[in-house]
Amino acid sequence: MTSPHWGDGTRSVHAGLPEAVPGQPFLPGPVFAAPYHLDPWRGPSAAPDGYGRPDNPTRRLLETAIGELEGGDCRVFASGQAAITGLLLTVPRPGDTVLLPADGYFPVRAFATDTLARIGVRVGFVPTAGPYPSFDGVRLVLLETPANPGLDVADVPALAEAAHAAGALLAVDNTTATPLGQRPLDLGADVVVASGTKALTGHSDLLLGYVATRDPALRDAVTAWRTTTGGIPGAFDCWLAHRSLATVDLRLARQAANAEALAGLLAGRSDVTGLRWPGRPADPAYPVASAQMRRMPGVLSFDLGDADRVARFLDASRLVAAATSFGGLHTTADRRAQWGDDTTPGFVRLSCGIEDGADLVADVAAALDAAAG
């Protein structure tokens, strides 16, 4: 168990590790098993592991680690989408109302308007930056802050207070921030959901999602849903994710520094519009972000006007790869409109990697010059 008084780097390195055993590694290797040996007399009650879908020691270690960083009990899922849809299918019932971010992750909005609405859940959409309606009669309010891909920020403590006063639960998608960037449970949220595919694990080599909460009943309901539907991550993905957590503090620090440097470059160019990064004092999200976030994300967004110019920019860059997802070691950029997201044709979400900042700034400047020509 990590100490709450330790710094982010120390907690990240030690999160979820078992007690030291001479001759054993810091992090035990993944346990690959579907069935486990059962006691012939007592059956599955004799040991914590009986069948691989609900039980796996590698997965439990990762859940302990993420739970320590988020400050709650964690359950990991096969992807971020599996985690958030699991929550949305666990909490509301037919006739309930949920409010989702109008500018949040597009597949979640599509799921809500299709699946949730089809089973009788009333769905409303609110921009992350507000204004928010009354929460009277609402069962669940979901925030995504900073929002993906537009990077607006919601005031979590204020919205948690309003939701609880109306009898609603508040959930926060913490994907962009990560638990080192903000701890929504400390800010008053009831539950956190996130994709661990991105900055949390940061190596672009696995799929993972999680739900974290301090509410035992909600934790048990989500766990039962996962067991029944089978949306679990494999043992090797869990092991890779836990291995990757040790460097999250270092990775996020470099990514945020690179984002700040690129924001400074982009802010000074007349051929770039719509720059958003919540760590920039001129950004409309800065007042709230600077008050509630522990560190800023390594993701920023801007507009190059049209799809062709985005393609020319990416072709000219030597360090920025065209790729979806974000939060990895390598700098990537994604033109979100190509996925059906309701953004402008030239809108770009850029995720900073851990390259040297001077090299990245020089490369992006040169690629923008080439794209403009």
Q: Are residues 238 and 303 in the same domain?
A: no
Report the distance separating Cα 149 and Cα 146, nearest Å: 8
Read off the pLDDT of residues 224-249 as tens digits, 9 standing for 90 and up.
999 999 999 999 999 999 999 999 99
Q: Are residues 18 and 84 in the same domain?
A: yes
Determine the structural domain holding residue 281 and report its residue range: 248-372
> Looking at the 3D structure of the chain, how many domains does it have?
2
Please check whether residue 30 lies inside any domain of the structure: yes
Per-residue pLDDT for 133 more than 90? yes
Report the predicted TM-score, pTM, of the whole model to 2 decimal places.
0.95
Q: Are residues 327 and 231 in the same domain?
A: no
Q: Are residues 149 and 14 in the same domain?
A: yes
Give residue 373's pLDDT band: very low, low, confident or very high (50, 70, 90). Answer: confident
Read off the pLDDT of residues 15-32 as tens digits, 9 standing for 90 and up.
999 999 999 999 999 999
Q: Are residues 32 and 166 in the same domain?
A: yes
Instruction: Please give the C-alpha separations between residue 152 and each of 6, 102, 105, 148, 149, in angstroms, as whole numbers.
Output: 30, 11, 12, 8, 9
Q: Are residues 132 and 59 in the same domain?
A: yes
Read off the pLDDT of residues 100-130 as tens digits, 9 standing for 90 and up.
999 999 999 999 999 998 999 999 999 999 9
Read off the pLDDT of residues 40-70 as tens digits, 9 standing for 90 and up.
999 988 999 999 999 999 999 999 999 999 9
pLDDT reported for residue 1: 74
